[in-house]
């Protein structure tokens, strides 16, 4: 359906004079805080999740998959850095797709972003609860879920500076733990290159199957543009934080992949098979914590560092709560969701959106706990974030190409050094990563769940929201001005 036809089926509603005044975010984020936001959102993926790719593709397969996905993310980061400077609005991917393709595709981009950012904290808090239950087994895991959601949603309502400072602190602690681990592996003499190759798989199919797991090294760095309206200098701060954050994660992913995979870890499976090295790391639920235990043995030092590993999960949990709050805020402000969700509090935070997303996420956590014993449904729900992410990447990179070719007059204070070629490469890799989800049985249901949720969202938009959009919302206003 063309953009012109779509304009004929959407309607814009009238608003009160103080509508936008009651939906104001506040500036206060410099590039360092934004860097912490982007890296913090991803950092839990450096602690676990990625390692399952060793079982799917072996070390070489996961290494090549990591390089390919790093290339995709570099193409994505440079493209959205240019778009963020040109369209500095809180909607992120929604605002880019809305400007490029109209309200319908903008809504789809916002929906897949929301799936990723609402579901990911639900998954993370589930693991936080599992982690803490080993330390304090007398406290039921659901108590931890409720406590962490309540605490970090509350912190996110205190204003952007407080939110991002907490994110930066937890992120720096998590990075320090990763670096200490790698140095401990190196200087303890535990690193053995031969351990890297105990996990093996056919290189071609192994690379393909490992792609979704390699994404865990970088998933959610793309949320930084959601802070565009709160950045002190969006033209400089957002591109700088995106690019420096991506290179930080690239360096961390390589050292973690090599040093965590190259230790003589031993794990005995339920079938009685003893795995060593990368093969053992590939089935570990906590590869970094197991590595600390191997290096330091049982004792207070291991317990201390194992506790600090929790900060990797906390950093991502906290930072992604920020992200879903801004996605829901922007889509509500523009009328794609009920407008009362986007009212901000006295601190300039979208408290209602944060609470709503937290309630949905907490419900998903309880659902995860119910489905976790099912070999297919549990992992599928966990991996919806990956499936929705790669769909959103294809949409936004396509939007970049569309705007580059057809909106040449759009001011671009920052330009991607990769240009159109980078966007094309990024789309190709995103499509391949999407197809790779079907190569993993645990991912297939995730893809179908995402597609089903998008279908339900389209029905919701068509029957309930398409005649109630808000022309005065910044993302809508700039798009309508360019279309007139």
Q: Tell me, what's the pLDDT at 439?
A: 85
Report pLDDT digits (tens) over 312-357. Answer: 999 999 999 999 999 999 999 999 999 999 999 999 999 999 999 9
pLDDT of 452 over the 60 cut = yes
Q: Which percentage of the chain shows pLDDT scores above 70? A: 96
pLDDT of 36 over the 90 cut = yes
Q: Tell me, what's the pLDDT at 372?
A: 62
pLDDT of 6 over the 70 cut = no
d(CA 422, CA 419): 6
Tell me the mean pLDDT in the region 217-226.
96
- Phi, psi dihedral angles at 471 (to 5 degrees): -65, -25
- Residue 219 confidence class, pLDDT cut points 50, 70, 90: very high
What's the angle, vertex CA 114, arms to CA 111 and CA 117, rounded to 5? 155
pLDDT of 203 over the 80 cut = no
pTM of whole model > 0.85? Answer: yes
d(CA 280, CA 195): 10
DSSP string, 79-137: HHHHHHHHS--TTTHHHHHHHHH-HHHHHHHHHHHHHHHHHHHHHHHHHHHHHHHHHST
What's the distance, CA 246 to chain centroid?
Answer: 13
Q: Tell me, what's the pLDDT at 4?
A: 46
Eight-class DSSP state of 201: -
Q: Tell me, what's the pLDDT at 104?
A: 94
Q: Where are the alpha helices (DSSP H) in 157-233?
A: 160-188, 203-214
Tell me the mean pLDDT in the region 278-299.
91
Tell me the mean pLDDT in the region 238-253.
98
Q: Tell me, what's the pLDDT at 482?
A: 83
Q: Return the minimum-mean-pLDDT range out of 10-14, 53-57, 364-368, 389-393.
A: 364-368
Q: Tell me, what's the pLDDT at 484?
A: 66
DSSP string, 439-462: GSHHHHHHHHHHHHHHHHHHHHII
Task: Quote the mean pLDDT of the chain.
Answer: 92
pLDDT of 27 over the 80 cut = yes
Tell me the mean pLDDT in the region 235-251.
98
Answer for the pair 347, 482: CB distance below 8 angstroms, yes or no: no
Cα atoms found within 13 Å of the Cα of residue 149, Cβ hemisphere only: 29
Q: What are the Cα distances from residue 4, in Å, to 10, 98, 438, 461, 483?
A: 10, 13, 35, 18, 9
Q: Across the chain, how many H-helices and E-strands are there?
A: 20, 2
pLDDT of 403 over the 70 cut = yes
d(CA 241, CA 61): 30
Answer for the pair 217, 45: CB distance below 8 angstroms, yes or no: yes
Structure tokens at 446: 């995730």
Tell me the mean pLDDT in the region 60-81.
97
Q: Tell me, what's the pLDDT at 7?
A: 54
CA-closest candidate to residue 72, choices 398, 432, 345, 352: 432
pLDDT of 221 over the 70 cut = yes
């Amino acid at each position: 359906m063309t953009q012109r036809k779509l304009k004929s089926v959407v309607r814009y509603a009238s608003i009160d004079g103080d509508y936008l005044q009651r939906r104001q975010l506040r500036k206060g984020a410099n590039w360092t805080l934004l860097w912490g936001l982007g890296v913090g959102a991803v950092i839990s993926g450096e602690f676990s999740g990625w390692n399952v790719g060793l079982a799917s593709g072996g070390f070489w397969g996961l290494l090549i998959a990591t390089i390919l996905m790093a290339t995709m993310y570099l193409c994505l980061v440079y493209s959205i850095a240019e778009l963020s400077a040109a369209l500095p609005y809180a909607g992120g991917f929604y605002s880019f797709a809305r400007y490029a393709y109209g309200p319908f595709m903008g809504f789809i981009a916002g929906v897949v972003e929301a799936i990723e950012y609402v579901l990911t904290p639900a998954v993370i808090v589930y693991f936080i609860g599992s982690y803490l239950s080993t330390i304090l087994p007398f406290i039921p895991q659901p108590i931890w879920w409720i406590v962490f959601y309540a605490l970090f949603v509350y912190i996110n309502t205190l204003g952007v500076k407080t939110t991002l400072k907490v994110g930066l602190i937890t992120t720096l602690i998590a990075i320090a733990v990763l670096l200490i681990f790698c140095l401990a592996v190196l200087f303890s003499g535990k690193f053995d290159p031969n351990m890297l190759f105990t996990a093996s798989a056919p290189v071609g199919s192994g690379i393909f199957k490992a792609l979704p797991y390699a994404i865990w090294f970088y998933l959610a760095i793309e949320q930084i543009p959601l802070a565009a309206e709160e950045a002190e200098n969006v033209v400089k701060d957002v591109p700088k934080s995106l690019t420096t954050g991506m290179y930080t994660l690239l360096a961390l992913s390589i050292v973690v992949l090599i040093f965590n995979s190259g230790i003589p870890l031993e794990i005995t499976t339920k079938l009685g098979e003893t795995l060593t090295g990368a093969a053992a790391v590939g089935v570990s639920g906590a590869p970094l914590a197991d590595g600390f235990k191997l290096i330091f043995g049982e004792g207070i030092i291991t317990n201390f560092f194992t506790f600090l590993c929790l900060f990797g999960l906390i950093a991502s949990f906290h930072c992604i709560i920020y992200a879903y709050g801004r996605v829901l805020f922007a889509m509500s402000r523009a009328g794609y969701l009920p407008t009362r969700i986007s009212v901000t509090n006295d601190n300039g935070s979208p408290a209602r959106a944060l609470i709503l997303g937290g309630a949905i996420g907490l419900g998903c956590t309880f659902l995860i706990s119910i489905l976790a014993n099912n070999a297919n449904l549990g992992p599928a729900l966990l991996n919806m974030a990956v499936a929705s992410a790669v769909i959103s990447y294809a949409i936004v990179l396509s939007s970049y190409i569309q705007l580059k070719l057809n909106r040449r007059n759009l001011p671009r204070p920052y330009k991607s050094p990769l240009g159109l070629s980078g966007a094309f490469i990024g789309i190709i890799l995103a499509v391949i990563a999407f197809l790779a989800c079907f190569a993993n049985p645990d991912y297939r249901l995730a893809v179908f769940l995402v597609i089903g949720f998008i279908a339900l969202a389209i029905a919701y938009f068509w029957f309930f929201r398409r005649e109630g959009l808000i022309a005065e919302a910044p993302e809508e206003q700039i798009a309508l001005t360019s279309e007139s």
